[in-house]
A and B are shown apart, each in its own frame.
Chain A
Amino acid sequence: MVFSFVVFSAFAKAQTCGISATDVSFGSVNPGSSSTLKDTSVTNSGDTSASLTISGQDWTDGAGHNMTFSQTFWNTTSAPVALTNSFVSVDTIAPSIPFVIHLSVQIPARQFAATYNQIITLEATC
């Protein structure tokens, strides 16, 4: 018992929280229509809970054509909400339990046809 007490004390480690996420791709989407829902699976790789927030940037084709960040929608269990360019709370994620965020994109009817990319940032705090 004493030995295990010594071992426990010697190896006491700092508690951590972490974040990992799977990538998402919507494929091709026609102007005036929406993509199907795509999921990113977020996992807290640490051993203590983390607060998760999300934000995004405009879609851009790198040639001057843009589409606002709010054309992307996300949700977990409730109705989809438009992405914002400032961080908004998603949920508290427990360690090692995959947490799914559903994403979709809605293309305006007169959007210039091009290849667009977007950066979404997931933020963890603990």
Chain B
Amino acid sequence: MKSILLFIFFSAFFMIPSVFAFGEVAGPVVFTVPIGGNNVSSWGISNDQAINVKLSAEGDAMKYLSFPDSITLQPNNQIYWVNLTAKIPSDYNVTQGTNITGTLSAVAAGQPGQVQINLRLKKSMYILVQPATVQESVQQFSEPFQIATGLFALGPLIYLPAAGAIVILIGIFYFARKRKQEVKI
């Protein structure tokens, strides 16, 4: 009967679990960039299986940023570090602000079906604009001391405890060996 017209949806009657475990490294992405210079940073993304992910940016920082349109993530939650480059033109007017903000997004398309659930990761980013007068010194140190997310955010400091422990271990072995030699004598 026309009056009892069924509103038919395409239906997948089985609940298919989404296979994604789509993740990102915590913390904002921060660049320190001199006027007329550039700097690099990275954004860590992972997934439990290989998928193609589309990347985009929003906000004022977008026009100063370059990054790939899409990436292919490797399986087993291996972190893919997306290379990001921020470039501030030499004619940048500091009255526009020295803290340029924006967001990055990564979208993984869900399983096609009646309701497709896409998963999206969002990341805050900041470009801290340095005056042109300190450009040279900043450029020299920007590469090794770049501020990024996750492990990189800690920089070389993370290796200090390990280095200290290795020194202690060497000391222990040295004195143990020396004592052993003394006992032999």
Contact = CB atoms under 8 A, between A and B. Distances in A.
On chain B, which size bracket covers the interface?
35 or more
B134 interface: no
B132 interface: no
A121 B118 CA distance: 5
A93 interface: no
Interface residues of A, number: 48
B37 interface: no
A contact face: mostly helix, strand, loop, or mixed: mixed
B55 to A, nearest CB: 14
A40 B162 CA distance: 44
A9 interface: yes
Interface in A75-109: 103, 107
A23 B107 contact: no
Interface string B2-18: 00111111111101111
Given A40-B117, A119-B116, A48 B26 contact: yes
B151 A12 contact: yes
Contact of B10 (A3, A9, A103, A117): A117
A112 B169 CA distance: 76
20 contacts: A12-B158, A13-B150, A14-B44, A15-B26, A18-B21, A19-B119, A20-B20, A22-B15, A23-B12, A25-B113, A26-B11, A45-B77, A103-B115, A121-B118, A123-B105, A123-B119, A124-B24, A124-B121, A125-B121, A126-B26
Interface of A: 2-3, 5-6, 9-10, 12-31, 40, 43, 45-46, 48, 103, 107, 111, 113-126
Given A13-B151, A23-B12, A117-B114, 16 more contacts: A6-B165, A14-B44, A16-B24, A21-B20, A25-B9, A25-B115, A26-B114, A27-B13, A40-B117, A48-B26, A103-B115, A111-B7, A115-B8, A119-B118, A121-B117, A126-B24
